[in-house]
Amino acid sequence: MADLDDIRDGDNFGHNTPADTSKFYLKGIANQSWGIKNRMSRIFNKQSGRTVMLAFDHGFLMGPTSGLERIDLNIAPLAEEADCLMGCRGMIRSSIPPENSKPLCLRTDTGTTILTEMNDNVLISEEDAIRLNVSCMAAMLAVGDADTEAITIRNFSKLVDIGQKYDIPVMGVTAVGKAMARDARYFGLASRVCAENGASIVKTYYTEGFENVVAACPVPIVIAGGKKLPELDALDLCYKAINCGASGVDMGRNVFQSEKPLAMMKAVKGVVHDGLSPAEGFQMYNDL
């Protein structure tokens, strides 16, 4: 057991000293292999250094939730606007055309559903990820959850071993249990645990004080959108996260549950890549 006495909160995040990206345009990736860098470059735009990923992996836990009833009708038509598609293998194979040229981030862990305790979690085989030609593999870490923390961190470490073997970046997805405070202290800890365990990308949630979460995470952070918000609020969330140093979004419900998902995708891209303000992004959404 580590000595847990006197664990002090960090207070020196070096906000005036940006991470060195002179050797590779994404922070924390310069010392990775050619294959990892090549796949990361498929996901992150070279000009902005950011990404707009479209997440549609919710069904493996929740079934056909609103906006994801028909992946072939709801998601496939948005693919061209996304920088990367994040989903599960069954939905990718059945509903995303193989001609798709966008990089895939494969949800690589699975387990129980919302109908039970969600207390088990396994990895799918790496051969299947390779067959699907994925650019990234994602698995969740339930940091702080007594029943699942150990299982999910063990899975994640195994996935990073696999990713390093085949040069496939791994994204750590921070899962927040109901008991966890959704604050910068918690997300800072959970994101750092992902990075310490070898994540090349960390997916977490925006919160007040997010600049510290980003500063203490040495690899790119993307935010989940969370529950559906009015479009302007969702664009504001993207804007604030980017302003705090996030490298993009991996958004689901705020896109596919929007009344106009394609217009919302384009507006989110405007904010993430082109520096639009939330109001300008919302104008774009309305115009489209």
Using CB under 6 A as the binding rule, whether residue 240 contacts ligand 5RP is answered as no
193: enclosing H helix or E strand: helix 184-196
The residue range among 37-45, 70-78, 93-101, 221-229 that interacts with ligand 5RP, by the rule CB under 6 A, is: 221-229
Active-site residue flag, 228: no
The residue range among 10-18, 54-62, 190-198, 278-286 that interacts with ligand 5RP, by the rule CB under 6 A, is: 54-62
Q: Which of positions 156-175 make contact with ligand 5RP (CB under 6 A)?
A: 173, 175
Q: Are 156 and 141 in contact (CB under 8 A)?
A: yes
Using CB under 6 A as the binding rule, whether residue 226 contacts ligand 5RP is answered as yes
Q: Closer to ligand 5RP by CB, 37 or 83: give it.
A: 83
**CB within 8 Å of 27: residues ≥ 6 apart:** 19, 20, 21, 218, 219, 220, 247
**DSSP code of residue 174:** E
Using CB under 6 A as the binding rule, whether residue 224 contacts ligand 5RP is answered as yes
Q: Closer to ligand 5RP by CB, 58 or 269: give it.
A: 58
Q: Which of positions 66-125 make contact with ligand 5RP (CB under 6 A)?
A: none
The residue range among 12-20, 52-60, 75-83, 88-96 that interacts with ligand 5RP, by the rule CB under 6 A, is: 52-60
Using CB under 6 A as the binding rule, whether residue 145 contacts ligand 5RP is answered as no
262: enclosing H helix or E strand: helix 261-274
Q: Least distance in Å: CB of 165 to ligand 5RP?
A: 24
Q: Which residues pair with 84 in a beta bridge?
A: 53
Q: Which of 27, 203, 240, 266 is catalytic?
A: 203
Q: What is the DSSP string of 121-160?
A: EEEPPHHHHHHTT-SEEEEEE-TT-TTTHHHHHHHHHHHH
Q: Least distance in Å: CB of 33 to ligand 5RP?
A: 26
Using CB under 6 A as the binding rule, whether residue 53 contacts ligand 5RP is answered as no
Residues in contact with ligand 5RP, total (CB under 6 A)?
A: 14
Q: Are 178 and 203 in contact (CB under 8 A)?
A: no
Q: Are 102 and 80 in contact (CB under 8 A)?
A: yes
Question: Which amino acid, one-letter code, is at 202?
Answer: V
* CB burial readout 61-81, b (16+ within 10 A) else e: beeebebbeebeebbbebbeb
Q: Closer to ligand 5RP by CB, 37 or 231: give it.
A: 231
List, by residue number, the catalytic residues. Answer: 203
Binding site for ligand 5RP (CB under 6 A): 55, 57-58, 140, 173, 175, 224-226, 250-254
